[in-house]
Amino acid sequence: MSNRIKKAIISISDKSEIETILKALKKYNIKVISSGGTSKEIDRLGYKCTDVSKYTNSDEILDGRVKTLHPKLYAGILSKRDNKKHKKELKNNNYDEIDLVIVNFYPFEKTLKITKNHQKIIENIDIGGPTLVRASAKNYRHTTVLTSPKQYEEFIIDLEKNKGSTSIELREKLSKEAFNLTSYYDSIISEYLNKNNDDYYPEKKTIYANLVEILRYGENPHQKSAIYSKSNELDIFQLSGKKLSFNNYNDIYSALNISKSLPKNNGTVIVKHANPCGVSINKDNLESYKEALACDPISAFGGIVSCNYKITKRIAKELNKLFIEVIIGIGFDKESIQILKKKKNLRLIDASKLEQKNFTHVTSHFNSLLFQSIDNKKFNKDNFKVVSKAKPTKKIFNDLLFAFNVCRNVKSNAIVLTKNSSTIGIGSGQPSRLDSCKIAIEKMKKFQNIKKNDFIIGASDAFFPFIDGIETLVQNGVSAIIQPSGSIRDKEIIKFADELGVILVFSNTRHFKH
């Protein structure tokens, strides 16, 4: 079923492609109704239109808050063309059918980025636009709705193909896109008002996002996957290399969670399967990378390297020696890009514009959604208590914080061993904390040349429920341990540490990561 378009209403904030659509409407002698800035732009371009106020014989009121909310417009949009009663009622009221609605909304999302003035934000909530769109989208069997300049080309092709009409297939597709847009628009407003009232978990929750890319597949080839963003693009930018996969993105964000918690322009993180296999802080960036790699060079093969600094020629040459899937940098100099681009499949990601904020983490299971704030709390001395008789120096305390910070980004149960702010052994994802201890120790012995006087630090993401875990660490050279408190055996563990002269620091917070 195709519908001949005779009359259209246009009310748009994005006028970038308006002349393209006006040419097509003129070709098929489609009359145009418009208002405000859109009407002025149509007139400036030399095309004819009837002002909404003149068409409805009703002036705009309330500073423009009410201009398109009129039964003459909505009756024309919502009437069923094959319904005799509807046709009679339109005729009795001297209303015409409106076959095409071209509307985009006040830039509410953009307004949020440029002002914190609540009143200005509220005034940029569009009422008439979404109402026009919803009405025409509901009546898609008879009415065509366009909500974005991106749709104009497809519409014009269909219009020409059907000689001034549109196909039911196109109208239904545009209707779906229209309702996607109105729900997206309302979701942004809803989230703003919830946050403005500190209501992060309201009774009804909506999520909005823009499609960035359909991915090749998910974690495995039989799974479908896509990445969305709450803005129109991601805050990380791919400079070269083949298309990113689901697993790549998962690893990238896991690596960035750690990188962004390290000192500015300092630190290297290597990630494999969303777990760090090496992290190091060193003022010499090249040494930082080498130390991170030395933690577990076998696991690093085919992994992701996140450099919390600008990548230079010197760093690039070293990175090029290893097979890596993705390299993340806080920018790249020209020479480093030339070196790294020689590997065509190697993805280069610029994360210089990414900021660590208080985002919400969302997970889906069956027909439910789990929400939680992310674990990016910045540690300070008040979060910790030295409970052993042996006290840490300032340097040792900072190294303990480094180990604990890495540990909270390792899948639970997590144990991290470090030396001089570099990881030397990581045990992750085990149901038994003792097994994680053993894995971390095994990694350390396999890849590190540990000397008798080396000062080794151990970190645990949750408390040790029994002495066996801490005992295993101490027996293998660990001299200082940081862990959350909360076990019924905390006193036994403190006593054990004191008997062996081990530094023991308790955290006020636990840091499971599943």
Asked, as a colleague might, if the bond just before 92 is cis with ω within 30 of 0, I would say: no
The answer to whether residues 298 and 276 touch, using CB atoms and an 8 Å cutoff, is no
Q: At which residue do the structure tokens 């910790």 appear?
A: 384
448 SS3 class: coil
The answer to whether residues 45 and 59 touch, using CB atoms and an 8 Å cutoff, is no
Would you say the C-alpha torsion 425, 478, 408, 261 has a positive or negative sign? Answer: negative
Strands (E), 98-180: 100-103, 144-146, 165-167
138, 230, 310, 377: the active-site residue: 138
The answer to whether residues 147 and 103 touch, using CB atoms and an 8 Å cutoff, is yes
**Cα–Cα distance, 476 to 301 (Å, whole number):** 27
Distances (CA, A) of 252 to 225, 349, 351, 405: 16, 9, 10, 18
The answer to whether residues 280 and 421 touch, using CB atoms and an 8 Å cutoff, is yes
87, 173, 273, 310: the active-site residue: 273
Q: Where are the alpha helices (DSSP H) in 61-151?
A: 71-78, 84-92, 108-114, 118-123, 128-138
**Cα–Cα distance, 512 to 429 (Å, whole number):** 10
Give the list of residues 6+ apart from residue 182 with CB closer than 8 angstroms, or none.
130, 133, 134, 137
The answer to whether residues 416 and 400 touch, using CB atoms and an 8 Å cutoff, is no
**Cα–Cα distance, 362 to 346 (Å, whole number):** 29
**Cα–Cα distance, 155 to 25 (Å, whole number):** 11
**Cα–Cα distance, 189 to 107 (Å, whole number):** 11
Helix (H) or strand (E) holding 404: helix 394-407
Q: Residues 239, 240, 244, CA angle at the centre, nearest 5°? A: 100
**Cα–Cα distance, 111 to 120 (Å, whole number):** 8
Residue 273 is among the residues annotated as catalytic for this protein: yes
**Cα–Cα distance, 146 to 322 (Å, whole number):** 51
Cα-based torsion angle of the residue sequence 40, 45, 50, 52 in order, rounded to the nearest 10 degrees = -30
**Residue 482 phi, psi (nearest 5):** -125, 130
Catalytic residue annotation: 138, 273
